Structure 1
Amino acid sequence: MTTTHTEHKPTQVTGHTRTSGDVLFSIVNYSFFILLAVLCAYPFYYLIINSVSANDLSALGDVRLFPQGFHLSNFEQVFHLQGLPMAAAVSLARTVIGTTATVLASAFLGFMFTQERMWARRFWYRFVVITMYFSAGLIPLFIIMKNLGLTNNFWVYVLPFVVQPFFIVLVKTYVEGMPRELQEAAEVDGASVLRVFFMIYLPNMTPILATVAIFAAVTQWNSFQDTLIYVTDQSLYTLQYLLYMFINQANSLAQAAQNAGGNLGALADAASTQTPTSIRMTVSVLVVLPIIFIYPLFQRFFVKGIMLGAVKG
């Protein structure tokens, strides 16, 4: 008796057929987000094209889509405004130092709050988090800064921002999602808590630390209110505070730039002569461009870090 073996071939699963509704949804979805992206990007584009266009046309509001009368003399003349180079250096220094300190403090505290051996761990964690919801107010804060000797001091830009509860919560949640066996294996080999942090956990925190770095750097770079409240020494003015002053004093600064430009042998025609509008546009571009260029470098870490750090498990 002969037995016939039938060869069974795997059943092929056909892909989902797109319906007209799916196509319509995709078109509407892409159109909406493209429009939203254009609306978000246009203000920056508007600043840039007006900063490199003829100043007389820019002052009249005639530059909307494309540069007209292209020139770069605005940037050359603006850099001669008093205090601008020093302010740029102060802003850069506070951003680099402040961001580094905030990232390291957030990483270490976020890690320590996951260690059960830490004395009164739950109390200290709640003590830090509660500061997200309560503040002493402006006047008590100013008195504290003055008594600590931080008024008219560069460190007023750094020290108050080192411990940020929101960042600590993100890092803590991220650390809790990492394999505990890594620490246990290191401790079996005799590693201390600090060695475990610096050698095991810190190198594996790149996504969440990049996210914290973005938030901290943008906050540091854009901050000007602390200068307004705590600083009267002009050598400690930040670029953003000067922008605030320039916007409020654009007319007098335009005249000063015209005088400086004349002394430097710059063109004195209407197209290149500084106006209040050109002052505002050019300085705004100088303030915004660093963030525009730096942010894409961290973009690939941002989404991953914020998702893993915000949701446990």
Structure 2
Amino acid sequence: MTSGERVFRVLNILFFVIFTLICVYPFYYLIINSVSANNLSAAGVINWLPKKIHFQNYAEVLKLEGLPLAALVSVGRTVVGTVLTVIASAFLGFMFTQEKMWHRKFWYRFVVVTMYFNAGIIPMFITMKNLHLTNSFWVYVLPAVVQPFNIILVKTFVESLPKSLEEAAELDGATTIQTFFKVILPSCTPILATVAIFTAVGQWNSFQDTLIYITDQSLYSLQYLLYQYINQASSLAAMVKNSTGGALNLGAIATQQTPTSIRMTVSIIVVLPIMFIYPMFQRYFVKGIMLGAVKG
């Protein structure tokens, strides 16, 4: 390498190291403040290293009313929603590559146009109410099953596969459904993993649908409770303090709940699950998004 190439390589690595640190630091900041002394965290002095580490915040936050049920709802909608969306995206993406499909181009364009136009919140709410989906778990899942962007990714990926695979299956007497499940679906692992990541992150992070469609507290999602807890952090801190008796000593000051400790701890509880899941699919992500975006 020339001296100019070496300088560029060093600067390139340095840039991405700094960029990575900038992306990671907010999560690190949340973690160190959630496990540090609450009085120091509230004072804003915890910036780089945790001080007087304790885990009492997590024990107290997990006792908050409705949290376990909300976690169950969020896990359920993420798992069920992801599975149904991946299957629907895979099947529709495959069918839109079949020339024998009735009015294939019309239906494909009909699906794609919904990426650019929608009725709005009020008509959507009226539709969900008329379908009896309000205050129902399925309002989290069914409206998000058909995602045009995911269908486009899968369709482009399937078109990049050798046509000889489908032709060989047809010669062996396989039907369209058999060809999809036994030939195409096993070959689409990278793009389906990509779709699964998009869907799982979207389902886990969503809270607006709870805000619009749900009034039954037993169906609140974890993200919606996070939204409520952050808005009510001061009253929650007082409630936790009163539940422990209210009397403080020097040793209890560090673990006394504050609005800051509530915000930090609840944020970590909500963010950590998706951070653990993402690395499991990471090896498929880059390959899938590239193969699904560019026809080979």
Shorter-chain TM-score: what band?
over 0.9
For residue 101 of structure 1, what is the aligned residue in structure 2? Answer: 84
For residue 87 of structure 1, what is the aligned residue in structure 2? Answer: 70
For residue 156 of structure 1, what is the aligned residue in structure 2? Answer: 139
1:61-116 deviation per Cα after TM superposition (whole angstroms, max 9, x unaligned): 11110111100010000011010010000000000000000000000000000001
Pairs within 5 Å for 1:1-313 = 18-262=1-245, 269-313=252-296
1:163-222 deviation per Cα after TM superposition (whole angstroms, max 9, x unaligned): 000000000000000011111111111111100000000011000000000000000000
Say which one has the larger Rg.
1
CA contact (8 A) 1:114 1:172 kept: yes
Identity %: 67
CA distance in structure 2 between the partners assigned to 1:208 and 1:80 by the alignment: 40
CA contact (8 A) 1:46 1:64 kept: yes
Structure 2's unaligned 5+ residue stretches are none
Q: Is the partner of 1:269 in helix, strand or coil?
A: helix
Letter of the aligned partner of 1:97 in structure 2? V
TM-score by length of 2: 0.97
CA contact (8 A) 1:129 1:165 kept: yes
CA contact (8 A) 1:151 1:231 kept: yes
Q: 1:268 to 1:230 in 2, by over 3 A?
A: farther
CA contact (8 A) 1:77 1:261 kept: no
Residue correspondences, number: 293
Letter of the aligned partner of 1:281 in structure 2? M
Superposed displacement of residue 261, structure 1: 3.9
CA distance in structure 2 between the partners assigned to 1:215 and 1:142 by the alignment: 24
CA contact (8 A) 1:80 1:257 kept: no
CA distance in structure 2 between the partners assigned to 1:123 and 1:184 by the alignment: 25
Superposed displacement of residue 268, structure 1: 7.3
CA distance in structure 2 between the partners assigned to 1:40 and 1:288 by the alignment: 14
Superposed displacement of residue 37, structure 1: 0.3
Letter of the aligned partner of 1:110 in structure 2? G
Superposed displacement of residue 298, structure 1: 0.6
Q: Is the partner of 1:62 in helix, strand or coil?
A: coil
Q: Is the partner of 2:117 in helix, strand or coil?
A: coil
Structure 1's unaligned 5+ residue stretches are 1-17
TM-score by length of 1: 0.92
